[in-house]
Structure 1
Amino acid sequence: MILTVTPNTALDVTYTLERLVPGTTHRVRQVRTRAGGKGMNVARVVRAAGGRACAVGTAGGAESALLLADLAAAGLRHELVPIAGGTRRTVTMLSTVDDKVTLLNEPGPELAAAEWAALTGTVRRLLPTAGVLVCAGSLPAGAGGYAELLALAGDIPTILDTSGAALTTALSARPAVVKPNAAELREVTGLADPVAAAHRLRAAGARAVVVSLGPDGLLAVTGRGTWRARPSVPLAGNPTGAGDAAVAGIALELAAGSPWPRVLRRAVALSAAAVLGPLAGDIDPEHYRREYDAVTVEEDHATGSDS
């Protein structure tokens, strides 16, 4: 089972409109809502790809009932820790004319010490049944930090998908995989070269770094080598959950003990299929099956540097 943790769970709201023009009034063609946050999306993709997942998160306020109803309707195993503050909303505006996506992410409520302790206790209780622990998304105010959660895993492989201080302060827990995108990696290292920046994170504690490069696929810098994996064709659609789908692929293959080329092949195929899904956490199953064999995985012998 893949255990995902989303401390800053959200109610995702997706607006589909013809074109987003700042300073004007828009008619929204379609509104869709679902339980969201990076770990929730990862768990959905794991399940869609045939794996087992349990999504741990938080829920409070009027949105709590909506989160629970959506997760139940999706048939996704979950445990949501009740909190006093209201669950945040994230808004995705998808323009159909040009496939451009605009995101509005609320910061989320502050967690009380007892609420963070309850979340930590839930993770500790579920870990004995997990093959991989995924900690993903932003941290709300009051959260103790991802290092605390990662340290609970022991010998269970861990994946960290976050940014900024939430990422750097958790490296001491030596996550098996850290998965920033190129901009997040540059932000925390100050290095423009993603290979050199990934080596910087490995030196700080990450055992492997997998970097999302958008339409160019994934870069993996590991203790066993460096690889680049690319999709067969560029795709237009909604890229919001593509990185989360990649994490789902990494988690499934880590749980199986697969070599890195196979890990990256699955991650890129799921990521590409997610671009064609209507909402974050969805994939296009047919494209996933076709793309799996079409992904290009090549070893990269460039070593990079920290200078």
Structure 2
Amino acid sequence: MILTVTPNAALDDTYEVPDARFGEVNRVAAVHRRPGGKGVNVARVLHGLGHEVVATGLAGGAAGRQIEEGLAALGVPAAFTPVAGESRRTVTVVGAEVTMFCEPGPTVTAAEWAAFLARYETLARDAAVVVLSGSLPPGVPPDAYARLTRLAPGPVILDADGEALRLGLAGRPAVVKPNAEELARVSGTGDTAAGIRALRAAGARTVVASLGAGGVVADTPGGALRAALDRPVPGNPTGAGDALAAGLAAGLAVDRPWPDLLRNAVALAACAVRSPVAGEIDAAAVPALLPHVSVRAEEDHAARPHE
């Protein structure tokens, strides 16, 4: 089983507005409302691929109920800890460009966080891989991801930003998956290789840096690799990172060799870009994309072997 953790789950609204203009009245062509938050999106992708997965995290209020009901309707197993506050909503406007509006989330009490930790420890014992994703709501300790990583018996993938990522590195996660902007923010440099070295020095065992249309650069136990699609994929990129994380988790769960793991994960990310809604992919399209993903060795970014 793969366990995904979304401390700041959300109810996601996606508006398709082909000619969106800020400062004017816009007519929405289509509305998609789904349970979301990064870990929830990872769980939905994994479920769509036929993997055994459980989504956990914190959820509260009417939005929290809709998140849980939405996952149940999709057939995704979930085990959320209730909170008194109202879970957040996000709004994504998809037009010529993609714009997101993200609420901060509910304030979590110490008792609610303790209840979540107890449930998490039980779930993590049965997990082949744990995926920790997204922002931390107010009230959750800033080093939460480090503690959750240490509590997990198996490998952990960390996909976060800012302070949550910086402090989470102390837990020594098996894989850290920043995008280019997140890598620059946490490392203090815009140089990908230097940023990867900084994250490994801070505790990451493997770093997979997502570079958008440039694919990924991964510092793996077998050396540094770059995996990229041979053609750009138009669409909505907001769910691509979550699909990439899903591919990494699926590969780690069966100990797939890193070149194959990265090829599959990049193909999944490309499929996600084609979908107007984060967390959804056309699984049948993945095999056709795999031959278009190249994987090649890069100059090593950090000393090996791993500890």
Shared fold, TM over 0.5: yes
Taking a change above 3 Å as real, the CA distance of residues 152 and 237 of structure 1, as seen in their structure-2 partners, is: same
CA distance in 2, matches of 1:18, 1:222: 40
Structure 2 equivalent of residue 153 of structure 1: 152
User: C-alpha offsets along residues 40-99 of structure 1, whole Å, 9 cap, x if unaligned?
Assistant: 00011111122111000221112122112211110000011111110100100011xx3x
Structure 2 equivalent of residue 4 of structure 1: 4
Structure 1 equivalent of residue 134 of structure 2: 137
Letter in 2 for 1:20: A
Structure 2 equivalent of residue 68 of structure 1: 68
Letter in 2 for 1:177: V
Structure 2 equivalent of residue 257 of structure 1: 255
User: C-alpha offsets along residues 101-126 of structure 1, whole Å, 9 cap, x if unaligned?
Assistant: 10001111110001111111111111
Structure 2 equivalent of residue 277 of structure 1: 275
Structure 1 equivalent of residue 87 of structure 2: 87
User: C-alpha offsets along residues 135-163 of structure 1, whole Å, 9 cap, x if unaligned?
Assistant: 00001111121111111113x01000001
Conserved 8 A contact 2:8-2:137: yes
Structure 2, unmatched stretches of 5+, are none
DSSP-derived class of the 1:129 partner? coil
DSSP-derived class of the 2:16 partner? strand
CA distance in 1, matches of 2:121, 2:238: 30
Structure 1 equivalent of residue 113 of structure 2: 116
DSSP-derived class of the 1:76 partner? coil
User: C-alpha offsets along residues 23-54 of structure 1, whole Å, 9 cap, x if unaligned?
Assistant: 10111111111110000000111111221110
Runs of 4+ in 1 over 6 A off after TM superposition: none
Structure 1 equivalent of residue 103 of structure 2: 106
CA distance in 1, matches of 2:145, 2:137: 11
Equivalences for residues 39-58 of structure 1 within 5 A? 39-58=39-58
Taking a change above 3 Å as real, the CA distance of residues 57 and 304 of structure 1, as seen in their structure-2 partners, is: closer
Conserved 8 A contact 1:55-1:78: yes
Q: TM-score, normalised by structure 1?
A: 0.95
1:304 CA drift (Å): 7.0
- The farther-off stretch of 55-64 and 296-305 is 296-305
CA distance in 2, matches of 1:214, 1:296: 15
Confirm or deny that 1:211 pairs with 2:178. Answer: no
Equivalences for residues 120-199 of structure 1 within 5 A? 120-144=117-141, 145-154=144-153, 156-199=154-197
Query: Number of matched residues?
Result: 301
Letter in 1 for 2:49: A
DSSP-derived class of the 2:111 partner? helix
Conserved 8 A contact 1:232-1:291: no
DSSP-derived class of the 1:110 partner? coil
DSSP-derived class of the 2:266 partner? helix
Conserved 8 A contact 1:195-1:221: no
Letter in 1 for 2:151: L
Conserved 8 A contact 2:87-2:105: yes
DSSP-derived class of the 1:169 partner? helix
- Aligned Cα root-mean-square deviation (Å): 1.3
Structure 1, unmatched stretches of 5+, are none
1:262 CA drift (Å): 1.3
Conserved 8 A contact 1:4-1:134: yes
User: C-alpha offsets along residues 270-299 of structure 1, whole Å, 9 cap, x if unaligned?
Assistant: 000101123111012232121123210001
CA distance in 2, matches of 1:174, 1:304: 16
CA distance in 2, matches of 1:165, 1:285: 34
DSSP-derived class of the 2:5 partner? strand
Conserved 8 A contact 2:219-2:302: no
CA distance in 1, matches of 2:176, 2:149: 12
Letter in 2 for 1:88: R
Letter in 2 for 1:295: V
CA distance in 2, matches of 1:202, 1:295: 26
User: C-alpha offsets along residues 196-253 of structure 1, whole Å, 9 cap, x if unaligned?
Assistant: 1101100110001001100111110134310000013211111110000000000011
Structure 2 equivalent of residue 290 of structure 1: 288
CA distance in 2, matches of 1:165, 1:68: 28
DSSP-derived class of the 1:228 partner? strand
Conserved 8 A contact 1:15-1:91: yes
DSSP-derived class of the 1:240 partner? helix
Structure 1 equivalent of residue 242 of structure 2: 244
